[in-house]
Structure 1
Amino acid sequence: MTIYNSIGKVYSNSRLPDLRIVNSLINLLNLPKKSIIADIGAGTGGYSRAIAQQGYSVYAVEPSSVMRSQSVEHARVKYFAGYAEDIPLANASVDGVICILAMHHFSDLSKAVREMHRISKKGALVFLTFDPRLCEKLWLVDYFPVYRDYDFRVFPPINDVVELIPNYTQRTVEIYILKLPHDLTDMFAASGWRRPEIYLNPEVRANISALALADADEVEKGVIRLQEDLETGKWNVKYGEIRNLSEIDVGYRFLCAKR
């Protein structure tokens, strides 16, 4: 049982793969078409399908039955029930591995990293993760303080992860900044940095773990304040300058671990 069995019931409605992230993952993997890629913590399989559509085969590994039940079949995607710490794939059975905004949910990151290394041949392990310590406070925190509290509690510092991976895989890790565009289709936590209206949507909030797992009364207070500030123009006065930006760095990073 995972937390997404309770909070991931409509995950596929707002967590749609963003093609720019898909292309970044493929570029970092640097594998020929028809290679086999393992997607660990694949969720509903959105990114698995998007990568398969680019000509790759994908093994999508996800422990939550609720998440897997929302997956859409694709001829080049095979789904597996399993945890990152005990991946149900054979040694050296894939050419590369991706893990998208999932490592903070692993019970044992070191064991998960060892497992990803075990199943991969010579290809890279590519992670997309987040470190709130790498950015200035986003306006979202003024309405939902629980968001920042959650992030600092569950997301390990990037430097700690970068040190951990070589210790268990003898791989070299490179860090790449993901600047968030203003029109992301994957509505993860900070994706609405220029679209505050999306946080008024309960379905979007349900698919952001920091808000879905927080005290419902505290979240509702933030929603009411945000709605009032948007209606009165107060939000625009305080934060409107952010609408002049086309992209922003708020701490999302790709990690590419190579042999």
Structure 2
Amino acid sequence: MSTVRLYDTIGATYTATRRTDPRIAARIWAALGDARTVLNVGAGTGCYEPPDRDVLAIEPSALMRSQRPPHSAPCVAGSAEHLPFGDETFDAAMAVFTLHHWQDPIAGLREMRRVARRVVVLLFDTSDPSLFWLNRDYLPEFAALRAVRVLASVSDLADAIGARLDPVAIPWDCEDGFHEAYWRRPEAYLDERVRRNVSVWHGVGPDVEQRAVHSLRRDLASGRWVERNSEILDLDAAELGARLLIA
């Protein structure tokens, strides 16, 4: 399914659980440096757009565009691989948790590099699915899903535009409900509203989803989840593969 069709299907309640986490935002905004004009690629509903800069957003899904707040940055229809702007139109181009949906991530990154003097992309290195207990113990299908959706390694993506990769720890009380956000709050994954706003669950399908939820509920009730994951219960933040690609 294309990104447009995917988010026109699952995006209706996106803003209920997906929002800007201020600690992650601070990392992104610091990486933008002194950029005054910023293009947000695959902008969705506008999370992480810096409020103190001149931002233009581009997003392929009409449903996602329709959920942008009234006073958010202007948003146009379009995709990362074909940005309708001239060379170095912007001081910076940013993209947050979107690159894994692009048809050609390297082409999209090169387009961002073409239209902006600085590129900042927040993504996940999912090359080791066992890094996150949910994938390891309940969603082994994540590995196959990743193989279908990711066309290049994180290092290949960085090399394509001469970028560096900086790790980003995920706080235990992260305010943005992406797939890994509830790593210390496992009960959240039992909430269908949380799952509906994460594309992974759509990707694995309803049968796998219900099996995983049933197993997690059982392990939480029995105490097995705590036994398996006791080492993370006192952590304030976790390294789960989040990376800032900065060029």
Q: TM-score, normalised by structure 2?
A: 0.91
For structure 2, which runs of at least 5 residues remain unmatched after alignment? none
Structure 2 distance, partners of 1:144, 1:223, is 10
Write out per-residue CA displacement over residues 32-65 of structure 1, whole angstroms, 9 at most, x where no aligned residue: 5xx11111000111222xx12xx11211110001
Residue identity in the other structure for 2:121: F
The match for 1:150 is: 145
Q: Once the two structures are aligned, what percentage of the paired residues are identical?
A: 32
Distance, in Å, in 2 between the alignment partners of 1:233 and 1:114 is 48
Give distance in 2, aligned partners of 1:97 and 1:176: 17
Counterpart for residue 103 of structure 1: 99
* 1:69-80 paired onto structure 2 within 5 Å: 69-74=66-71, 77-80=73-76
Q: Once the 2 structures are TM-superposed, how far is the Cα of residue 134 of structure 1 from its aligned partner?
A: 5.2
Alignment partner of 2:163: what SS? strand
Distance 1:117 1:139 in 2: 35
Q: 1:124-147, CA deviations, whole angstroms, 9 ceiling, x for partnerless residues? A: 100111112257432102112223
Q: Aligned partners of 1:205 and 1:114: how far apart in 2?
A: 32
Runs of 4+ in structure 1 deviating by more than 4 angstroms, as ranges, are none
Contact preservation (8 Å) 1:134, 1:250: no
1:40 is aligned with what amino acid? V
TM-score (norm 1): 0.87
Which residue is 1:29 aligned to?
32
RMSD: 1.7
Provide the C-alpha distance between the structure 1 equivalents of 2:148 and 2:182, rounded to a whole number of angstroms: 21
3-state SS of 2:79 partner: coil
Q: Give the aligned length.
A: 242
Report what 2:192 is aligned to: 202
Q: Distance in 1 between matches of 2:153 and 2:225?
A: 31
The answer to whether the Cα contact below 8 Å between 1:146 and 1:211 also exists between their aligned partners in 2 is no
Q: What is the Cα deviation at residue 192 of structure 1?
A: 1.1
SS in 2 for 1:10: helix
Is 2:61 aligned against 1:64? yes
Q: Distance in 2 between matches of 1:215 and 1:113?
A: 29
Structure 2 residue aligned with 1:219, among 203, 209, 213? 209
How far, CA to CA, are the matches of 2:224 and 2:45 in structure 1? Answer: 37
CA contact (8 A) 1:178 1:252 kept: yes
Contact 2:110–2:160 (CA under 8 A) maintained in structure 1: no
